[in-house]
Amino acid sequence: MNKKDPRAYSRVVVDGVTRAPSRAMLRAVGFVDEDFGKPQVGIASTWSQVTPCNMHIDGLAREAAAGADATGGKSVIFNTITVSDGISMGTPGMRYSLVSREVIADSIETVMEAEGLDGLVAIGGCDKNMPGCMMAMARMDRPAVFVYGGTIRPGSGHTDVISVFEAVGGHAKGAVSDAQLLEVERTAIPGPGSCGGMYTANTMASAIEALGMSLPNSSAQEAVADAKRNDARRAGAAVCELLARGIRPSDILCKEAFENAIAVTIALGGSTNAVLHLLAIAAAANVELKLEDFSRIGARVPMLADLRPSGRYMMSELIAIGGIRPLMKTLLDAGLLHGDCLTVSGQTLADDLTGVSPYPEGQDIIRPLENPIKADSHLVILRGNLAPSGAVAKITGKEGERFAGPARVFGSEQQALDQILAGGIQSGDVVVIRYEGPRGGPGMPEMLSPTSAIMGQGLGDSVALITDGRFSGGSHGFVVGHVAPEAAAGGPIALLEDGDRIVIDARKREISVDLDEQALEDRMRGWQPEVRDAGCLLRKYARQVSCASQGAITDAPA
């Protein structure tokens, strides 16, 4: 197969006398004679009514299709799934969230391969369908562009979904009335779009743009804006140009591109989930990326954005002053980005950023390099006798950089949440939530409900939380996730007992328990793994999934 041929894949399906049955089927879905000589562009839509993040994406898919059709291609729209983290959070359904990333990647690969589609526009709006789309693009290596569905507008009183979660904690404490809770519930989510802070969706959109896999400014547009519809239409056209030029994801997704994505994520104060997802996308692209790369880049890139959850502003306010491109230009000029990386525009990143204007005078959303919020990364990779294979902390500096205290150990998120809401956690405690890792959950659910309850009860500055699960991009406070090996794999977190003294030191990049090696070995002799009841998909996932430090992927090399 000649991969430089724009019709390398569709030609096998529709050319020649023997393919008449295939052409007959395609005529029924709208193909005409001349369409069979055009490259076919798959438009992978994650539309559904499951979540506001994706409720508008059917319209964006039609725009992308129109862009491809007007530029010499023939579009074919198909769907994949999405699930809503915000809706399933704190329930057993949240175990399916990270699993859905693999299902999405597999399903897009399935359709593209089965139907012989030559190029791809993938449109994602919620946390897991974005990296899922990217993993599929990297695996198949066909000309492709990612389109972000766009951010939601703020709710009444500058609220968003995290406001609701934290109001639940405040209600449990008695600081938020029934009427106040109902009001924020009714008004915090005003319409379509992804959660409004620098949570996982906006983090991943920004990282994907920095990778070079979406068109300039795709990450910084509101879901309901005309600019977003134009972005989708231009993406359809861009794929046809990539097909004509033979530019594939493997030409874009190099190690330096991932370093750019990490740098932008750090500068924006992005979600810990970016670590998990960038590792997974890199694995799909056959690029070697490790936890140590985040530490190496984090040592020289400062955190500049005063964005939620730890900051004050929302993505819509960053969009109003220019989005992420002035920030990227600042990083490029400071030598913190690789400007020679190719992007889906067909130009280098440096070319894409030529002529970008700086932020307006007087804005305080993005700090200057000489006055950062934090001089190095807020994403801190920790190791120690509690996490020999690594853990990921989110330390913005506001929480302090060292925490030591007695463990309060819970075998599930729900057990911990019940105690937090009942007032059973005290200042100085280290809440430990285990058996919520990729294998143990199964599914590595996010701990947004416990972290939000801690914040809502006013304990955000005086309680730490560690887990072998992960965190929502909306989580903040002194939190450490992705502890590996996880409890279900016999990691040291499985051996903790109430009262064990835990030390988390972001400066030394250590997480440890005050137990010697002999004490841990003695406890291990009496350890038995917990095995949870789980559905068929979760059982299959638990058998296949890798460690969080490898991206929690299901196709890792044996």
Q: Which residues are catalytic?
A: 472
* Closest alpha carbon to 500 in 468, 466, 531: 466
For the chain, the residue count is 558
Do β-strands 501-505 and 402-410 pair in parallel, antiparallel, or remain unpaired?
A: antiparallel
Distance, C-alpha 274 to centroid of its chain: 5
Look up residue 18 and give its two tokens.
């023997």
Q: Distance between CA 468 and CA 458 in Å, rounded?
A: 24
Q: Which amino acid would we find at residue 298? A: G
Q: Which residues contact 459 (CB under 8 A, 6 or more apart)?
A: 425, 427
Q: How far apart are CA 46 and CA 209, in angstroms?
A: 19
Q: How far apart (Å, rounded) are the C-alpha atoms in residues 1 and 91? A: 47
Question: Other C-beta atoms within 10 Å of 294: how many?
Answer: 24
Distance CA 161, CA 184 (A): 9
Which residue in the block uniquely carries the two structure tokens 């992927």?
553
Looking up tokens 């492709």, which residue turns up?
Answer: 144
Q: Is 78 left (phi over 0), alpha (psi -120 to 50) or beta?
A: beta
Is residue 392 within 8 A of residue 379, CB to CB? The reply is yes
What token pair was written down for 391? 């853990």
Residue matched to tokens 């109902």: 182
Cβ atoms of residues 379 and 277 within 8 Å: no
